[in-house]
Amino acid sequence: MVSQLDLNLSDKKKRKKNAPRLARMMMAICAARGGWVTRREIMQAYGWKDSRMCRLGREGSHGRILFSDKGFKLARTATLEDWLKYIGRMAHERDEATRRYMQATRRFHRMGR
């Protein structure tokens, strides 16, 4: 079992280095449970105190873990409906990030910079 103390998440290089290991751990619990697994369930299973570990694991999975308001699920076990919701969520997040980027860019230019 990997505890919070075993993983240094404060340094960006170390976070990237640990992401694949976190992904493997998350994929193992998702495979064992066979469906959606909540962040809380994953954190309890491994004794993690910081929810960033789940985010890093998902990012380290390179698309093999989907996430939604239901939790995390292996991409290979996802239904068409799961995929469509996931893709829709990603598109919405992209659009929101673009909107914030455009607002900040306009503000920057209005300030005469």
Across the range 57-69, mean pLDDT stands at 95
pLDDT at 5: 45
Q: Sketch the domain layout of the chain as residue ranges.
A: 1-77, 79-113
d(Cα 106, Cα 91) in Å, to the nearest integer? 22
Residue 9 has pLDDT above 80, yes or no: no
- Supply the pLDDT for residue 16: 76
- Work out the mean pLDDT of the chain and round it to a whole number: 90
* Alpha-carbon gap, residue 55 to 29, rounded angstroms: 15
Model confidence pTM above 0.85:
no
112 vs 10, higher pLDDT: 112
Residue 37 β-bridge partners: 72
Share of the chain above pLDDT 90, in %: 80
Those residues with Cβ within 8 angstroms of residue 41's Cβ, 6 or more apart along the chain or in another chain: 29, 33, 71
Q: Are 86 and 68 in contact (CB under 8 A)?
A: yes
Q: Check residue 113 and give its pLDDT.
A: 67
